[in-house]
Structure 1
Amino acid sequence: MTGQKIAEFSIPTVKSYPAGITAGPDGALWFTESGGNKIGRVTTAGAVTEFALPNAKSDPEGITAGPDGALWFTEGDANKIGRITLDGQVSEYPLQSPQSQPSEITAGPDKAMWFTQFQGHQIGRITTAGRITEVAIPSNTSLGITAGPDGALWFTETQIFGASPGDDVGQLTTGGSVTTFVVPTANSSPLGIIAGPDGALWFTEHNANKIGRVTTRGSVTDFAIPTPATHPHAIAKGQDGALWFTEYDASQIGRITTAGAVTEFKVPTQNGAPSGIASGPDGALWFTEHNGNKIGRISTEE
């Protein structure tokens, strides 16, 4: 479908493979360049600035705004958590567990950052002072993470890329108590997750081609995406009261209401592979195009 206004902005670094994106405290969007080994910044007018990371091939992935006014991000291949100030100063903190591959990261209700580990069998926590602790979880593979309306962290456990076991959504209290809830659709590979405007958590089912919803009590429902085999990736809450998500293989942006009605919008760049998505300070949704080497913006107004 068409009807929403989409704009795209090229990233200067070739083959930067942008991944995660988040709104910064400075009114701009900040994103990771998993192939470019950089952190990028794009203004709402589309001006892009890039900051190189100290370690070669660190593979930055997830990114979030911290309570200290800086941006915090994961370095999957370097096995570190990074911090970048608004003027581009970078600090890095190595993880205790080797080769844990930190993936997504979110600001928690306790003024710390919490992050998933693709291979670490744990969820990590880092304070703004750089102190890291880890909590064991049932699966060895966790990807998405977000702060829930119940004061807990919610994360996805997935079988994506052949990892096993998975297909759960987990709840982790700040005290370290873990509860998991099975996603009804087998081999669904839940991936991105976000707190919705309805008091529930919403997540993508990468292999099942669905969007899932789980209440804070663990009741799970899901909704099919009209286009087949889109491989939905990240999900964000829009200022219009709906959830917006990326369709990686369909090069589309999806929108789902809390009632489950889905609309899809084609990205101009063919095979752009939209990946990360975040709500911007301008009321639009901003997304990364992993293969298109661009940052996209989609208006919530027709």
Structure 2
Amino acid sequence: MPGEILGQVGALFGIIKPGPGRTVVFDLPQLNKVATLHVDTHVFTQYTMPTPNSFPVGVRTAADGSIWVGESLGMKIARIDPVTGAIAEYPLLGVNGLLTSVPGGLLVGSVGNPLPMAGPIAEAGDGNIYFSVSFPAAFGLGNQVARFNPATREVRMWATPSSASYPCDINVHQPGAVWFGLLTTNRVGRLDIAAA
């Protein structure tokens, strides 16, 4: 990226987050990449997502140094190992899709086209990965927050009380809770994971 004029195509979509080690991490969805920047050496490392045009967004670093990202248009979440560069993708739909085994179905309490778009993602203090789920629309609809256990691949989903609320951010800094913004209803939501 240094020396390149990327323009709007290479524009950052999300907010820069702390990365593994002495790096910051960010997504470049129009380029189908996630990247890190070493804050001391200024060296960029780019990771191209295996699914073409997956539109990676909401990137976050877990306690073990792995990088998690929602592949919005790819309908997947992914884990990047920054040591090896290996990328593991977890489809939301399909034969082994994470959300096809959720009791009660995918659209409980939600509206929109049943094609799940993974959004912001983060590892909470319980070691699970939480991410928002929306559906294709002008700017996304839906009202789901999902929990993924990387060890068991089990998924649980919660619907916000407001339909089509579009959870748009995930904050896991308070122990025992996941906080999230609700874009279309102009509210803030809280999931009590200690009681879940």
Q: TM-score range by the shorter chain?
A: 0.7 to 0.9
Out of 213-222 and 259-268, give the one that drifted further.
259-268
**Structure 2: any 5+ residue segments left out of the alignment?**
93-98, 100-105, 107-113, 135-140
- Name which of 167, 170, 174 aligns with 2:35: 170
Please state how far the C-alpha of 1:253 moved relative to its aligned partner.
0.1
Contact 1:236–1:243 (CA under 8 A) maintained in structure 2: yes
Contact 1:229–1:250 (CA under 8 A) maintained in structure 2: no
| TM-score, normalised by the number of residues in structure 2 | 0.75
Contact 2:125–2:175 (CA under 8 A) maintained in structure 1: no
Percent of counterpart pairs with the same letter? 27
Please state how far the C-alpha of 1:282 moved relative to its aligned partner.
4.7
Does 1 or 2 have the higher relative contact order (CA < 8 Å, sep 6+)?
1
Q: Which structure has greater strand proportion?
A: 1
RMSD over equivalenced CA pairs, Å? 2.2
- Name which of 145, 149, 154 aligns with 2:25: 154
Q: Which string of whole-angstrom CA distances, capped at 9 and with x for unpartnered residues, describes residues 246-300 of structure 1?
A: 1133310011122343322111110011101101425200001000111100011
| TM-score, normalised by the number of residues in structure 1 | 0.50
Matches within 5 A, 1:1-302: 140-144=10-14, 145-159=16-30, 166-174=31-39, 175-217=41-83, 218-225=85-92, 226=99, 227=106, 228-248=114-134, 249-259=141-151, 260-300=153-193, 301-302=195-196
- Measured in 2, the distance between the counterparts of 1:219 and 1:284 equals 30
Contact 2:170–2:179 (CA under 8 A) maintained in structure 1: yes
Contact 1:247–1:275 (CA under 8 A) maintained in structure 2: no
Runs of 4+ with >6 A deviation: none
In structure 1, what is the equivalent of residue 137 of structure 2? Answer: none
> For the pair shown, which has the larger CA radius of gyration, 1 or 2?
1
Contact 1:242–1:256 (CA under 8 A) maintained in structure 2: yes
**Structure 1: any 5+ residue segments left out of the alignment?**
1-120, 123-134, 160-165
- Measured in 2, the distance between the counterparts of 1:239 and 1:229 equals 29
- Measured in 1, the distance between the counterparts of 2:72 and 2:166 equals 13
Contact 1:238–1:244 (CA under 8 A) maintained in structure 2: yes
